[in-house]
Amino acid sequence: MRYFLKILSFGGLALTVAPAALVFAGALSWRMHAALMLAGAALWFATAPFWMRRAADAA
Amino acid sequence: MNASPQAKLVARLDAMNEFDRAPVSPDRLRGPGGFIGLYAGEHVAGTEFVIGPLFVAHGVATGDLLWGLLAGNLLAVLSWAFLCAPIAVRTRLNLYWHLRKITGPNLLFVYNIVNALMFCFLAGAMISVAATAVGIPFDMPMPGLDDLYPTSVAWALTALAVGGVVTALAVLGFDRIAWFSKIASPWLLLVFLASGLAVLPQLGVESFADLRTVANEKIWTGVPAEGRVRFTFWHVTFFAWFANMAMHIGMADLTILRYARKWQYGFASAFGMYLGHYLAWVASGALVALAIQQGGEVAPGPIAWLGSGAAGLIAVVVAGWTTANPTIYRAGLAMQTITPNWKRWKVTLAVGAATTVAALFPALMMRLLDFVALYGLILMPMGAAIFADFWIFPKIGLRSGYAEWKQIAFDWPAALAWIGTLAACRLMHVMWGWDIFFLGLPGWFVATGLFTGLSFLRKRLTREARTAAS
């Protein structure tokens, strides 16, 4: 489960930055880039808290 | 007898032992990961959406910006690693309880009021930044670069709401703050990167070969906006070095780094400096250049929208939280030494309320460069006193922690060194016209020299008085 959540989280980060590279390359519209970034944010914040340890736990 | 829900909540909050008044115990020490996350989170912040644009407004040239940020951020990292962290891991005390040994409680009282006020204003600026993003969906009129006072009812309500949420998070404690920063920081960094990259085509960049030309001609043109001083390499270097002067040279981060297992964790600040104070400042410069080109608003919310739409707005809000939270936490610690009978959460709540009121005034955000330089300069002399007390005094036969040893309530050498340093800095500004960004370095030497010299003088006077009495 934890492994699966991590994959989803990193997918969220990829959705945050990869569309901008495609906009720069002229392969994606700005509007689509903005929509994908929002989806990336939702994915990251919905999954990362479940596998990123609390500071106290990490000590 | 059953306790009421409110009493239970109070008891639970009171139970949070944050080691405010004692050295951190070994079982609470942390590895490097927490510090990397904390520094990256704190310095990849909403205020980067203001500082990058202000560099553009000050007409810095591309080369001066890139090289100046490289040098200045390096000096900042070295200041954390070699000045602040070694003392933090040896004493394990927060700034305020450490300083109390040097200044005595009465001088510390004065210092803490000044310190807490500065932190409140800084956190207020961060909340203002977040409010510019929250207000966009409601068509809130944005404050302009020259606005000092609340510009509308909508602005005031938005700032109050954002301040309330940030305060609630700060009340929950350091661990939750670090955790929140840790989760948000990788995403925030990528938002800055993506935003900067996505606007480049609209600025006329079609390939990497165009970058230098567009940077020179459209972003960092070397021509300041009307009424602004032109920034050089030296302005950028010293601003980047001293943007967090209160934290490293001023020793405020003793409070954070006292949890570090090793002093080398001070180098974790590089993640905050080179990601937040390099990459994010550069990216936000590109964003504001596009806003100016389109004739749009230059407030943080609108320029983040230009870069990445709704995700950019969320980033401004989240970035404001992750920076304002540790700042309110620090201010809470400062105030707690004034009101030792209050629990930390109550103090933090009071500080958060004051911060929220400060956030109503957009002046803090729009004059951020000057304010950041000023607050670092005001707090720096006490950091120099800690440095001298810890490293120099034992080597020259002076007693460290003299005020605690002699039970002195107000240490006059520390007070005179503080006032004298600020007076000397003012003189340098008036007589030689030195900009505020350049006063920190000579000021540190003045503060260290004054405190050491006056402590020597006290030792001599005390000895003479004792001899005369006998």
Q: How many beta-carbon pairs below 8 A join chains A and B?
A: 95
Q: What distance in Å separates the CA atoms of residue B38 and residue B27, rounded to the nearest whole number?
A: 19
- Are A58 and B205 in contact (CB < 8 Å)? no
Q: Note the pLDDT of residue B182.
A: 76
User: Which tens digit of pLDDT belongs to each residue from A18-46?
Assistant: 999 999 999 999 999 999 999 999 999 99
Domains observed in chain B: 29-380 (1.10.4160.10)
Name the residue in chain A with its Cα closest to that of B308. Answer: A34
- Residue B174 with chain A: CB contacts under 8 Å: 55
Q: Which of B197, B210, B321, B329 to probe the A interface (max A CBs under 10 A)?
A: B197
B398 touches chain A (CB under 8 A): no
Where do the structural domains in chain A lie, given as residue ranges? 2-49
Which residues of chain B have a pLDDT value below 70?
Answer: 1-20, 173-178, 337-338, 340
Q: Which two tokens stand for residue B77?
A: 């990292």
Bridge partners of B30, per DSSP, are B260
Q: What distance in Å separates the CA atoms of residue B145 and residue B228, rounded to the nearest whole number?
A: 12
- Are A20 and B198 in contact (CB < 8 Å)? yes
Q: Note the pLDDT of residue A55.
A: 43
- Helix count (H) and strand count (E) of chain A? 3, 0
Residue located via tokens 């009129």: B141
Q: Note the pLDDT of residue B337.
A: 63
- Are A52 and B191 in contact (CB < 8 Å)? no
Q: What distance in Å separates the CA atoms of residue B306 and residue A37, rounded to the nearest whole number?
A: 13
Radius of gyration of chain A (CA): 14
Q: Note the pLDDT of residue A15.
A: 97
Numbered residues of chain A with Cβ closer than 8 Å to any chain B Cβ: 12-13, 16-17, 19-21, 23-24, 26, 30-31, 33-35, 37-38, 40-41, 44-45, 48-49, 52, 54-56, 58-59
Q: Is the ipTM of this complex over 0.85?
A: yes
Question: What letter would DSSP give residue B20?
Answer: S
Name the residue in chain B with its Cα closest to that of A39. Answer: B311
Q: Note the pLDDT of residue B9.
A: 45
- The alpha carbon of residue A40 is apart from the nearest alpha carbon of chain B, in Å, by 9
Q: Note the pLDDT of residue B4.
A: 61
The answer to whether residues B350 and B125 touch, using CB atoms and an 8 Å cutoff, is: no
Q: Note the pLDDT of residue B412.
A: 96
Mean pLDDT of chain A: 88
- Residue B186 with chain A: CB contacts under 8 Å: 13
Q: Note the pLDDT of residue A58.
A: 39
Q: Note the pLDDT of residue B170.
A: 82
What CA–CA distances, in Å, run from B81 to B76, B87, B253? 9, 10, 11
Q: Note the pLDDT of residue B7.
A: 55
- Residue B178 with chain A: CB contacts under 8 Å: 55
Q: What distance in Å separates the CA atoms of residue B355 and residue B341, rounded to the nearest whole number?
A: 22
What CA–CA distances, in Å, run from B153 to B150, B156, B327, B328, B380? 8, 5, 26, 25, 37
B311 touches chain A (CB under 8 A): yes
